[in-house]
Each structure stands twice: as structure tokens, then as C-alpha cells.
Homo-oligomer: A and B are copies of this chain.
Amino acid sequence: MSENRAAISNVKALLFDVFGTVVDWRTSLIADFTAWANRAGKRGDWTALVDAWRGAYVPSMDEVRKHPERGYLNLDALHRASLLRLVAELKIEGLGAEDLAYLTTGWHRLSPWPDSVDGLTRLKRKFVIGPLSNGNVALLVNMAKAAGLPWDLILSAEVFQHYKPDPETYLGAARLLGLDPGQVMLVAAHNSDLRAAQDLGLATCFVPRPTEYGPLQARDFRAEGEWTLVVSDLRDLADRLGC
């Protein structure tokens, strides 16, 4: 796997994409909603909901990007708006305000991939570690508490009022850390995220998560750029960085 020792030696902070890279959103949400529906006596195609909901993710952020005059809406707000549309489309009935809140905050309760907590705990010994996620701050804090993600700080699109891949996110994160972009490495399972970070001078690390989208996975099976580092998972990243 490719790596670039010269760039790696400058890195002081590791920032992580979260949805898909650190946590397994699809498996988590389908299991969570299915168990909840059985307890609560609700009927619906939860797999269809989860897949359609994630399908609405990028378009909903694009709307924020295209309409700055409307102001920034955080990801909880976008998730909530998409959910209202999708439960109608999927004819999921009988959901009250508490049910909709439970489903929306499902994104706060996602489970980590099996290597995530151990890998992050080891990486934290030598590096500043944090998410750099489109999730809002409360979502990321709640997720970290529930999943045991040992972040040093929470960096979120919400702080910068811009969603990735807007440059304000990657550069704003480096600025708040008091670091040059080349002293920050973005770790992500998505080649497009790494491309945006690399274009701005950040170091990059690809970690494949080929089951992220389940049977719908259509991309990101492998590294598609000259990334600083390519690893098999976050334990492998800790090994490679001597943690």
C-alpha cells in the first residue's frame, strides 16, 4: 500500500470522517429501528428508510450550499426534514413527535466498526484526534459518549457553517488547531473527501469500508488517488504510525 514518509512525519493531528469511516451507520440504524419498531408496535420498511435517508444526505447539504441566504441548517435539521418527506413517501404511518425525534437521533447512536475504538485509543497517544464531520456538534458528542470514541476535540461542519467538501471545513480545522494544513491528516473511507483535503494541502489516509452501503455500495472499494497513506483499518493505521 502506498505511503509518503516525508509528509507523514509532519503530521500532528489526525481528523476523521465519521459516517462510514468510524461508524457503521447502515447496520446500526437498521438494527436500531427494527428493534424499536418491534417494541413500539410500529410497521415500516426500515431498510428502505435508512437507504433513502442516506440518499437524501448529499442533496440536502447541496441545498444549504446553494442557498446561503437561507442560513446554515445543521445535520439534525436536515435529517429531520428528509425524514418527514420519506416517511410520507414510504407510507410509514402512526409516528408521533417522540417517534420522529427517536428516529432522527438514531444518527447520534451509531456503532463503531470493530477496529475503531481500539485504533483511536492507540492513535490518541501520539496525535491529536478528532472528527471532521458533517454531523453537528451535539450529534458527534452524543455519539462519542455512547460509542466510546476518545476524541480530543470535536470538529464539525457546524462550527464552520459549511459542509464538507467546502474548503472552509478543512482549512478552518487546521486553523483552530494552530497547524499548517500539511500537519493535519484527514482519514476517510471516501475518495472524494480525501481529494478535497489533498487539494488544500492536507495529508490523506484512505481506509476502505466496502460494506458501508451494504448491497448498494457502488464506490470507494479502493483508493483512487495518490493518498499519503492507505491502511486496512484504524488498527492498521495505529500500527503504521507507531502507536
A-side interface residues toward B, CB under 8 Å?
76, 128, 136-141, 144-145, 151-154, 158-159, 176-179
Contacts A/B (CB < 8 Å), 28 sampled:
A76-B178, A128-B141, A128-B145, A136-B176, A136-B178, A137-B153, A137-B176, A137-B178, A138-B176, A138-B177, A138-B178, A138-B179, A139-B178, A140-B153, A141-B152, A141-B153, A141-B177, A144-B152, A145-B152, A151-B152, A151-B153, A152-B154, A153-B153, A153-B154, A154-B154, A158-B176, A159-B159, A159-B176
Whole-angstrom CA separation of A151 from B152 in the bound complex:
7
Q: How far, in Å, is A129 (CB) from chain B's closest CB?
A: 10
B residues in contact with A145, CB < 8 Å: 128, 152
B residues in contact with A178, CB < 8 Å: 76, 136-139
Chain B, residue nearest A108 (CB):
B178
Sample of 4 more A-B contacts, CB < 8 Å, known A137-B153, A140-B153: A138-B178, A138-B179, A151-B153, A159-B159
Whole-angstrom CA separation of A222 from B144 in the bound complex:
36
B residues in contact with A151, CB < 8 Å: 152-153
Q: How far, in Å, is A77 (CB) from chain B's closest CB?
A: 11
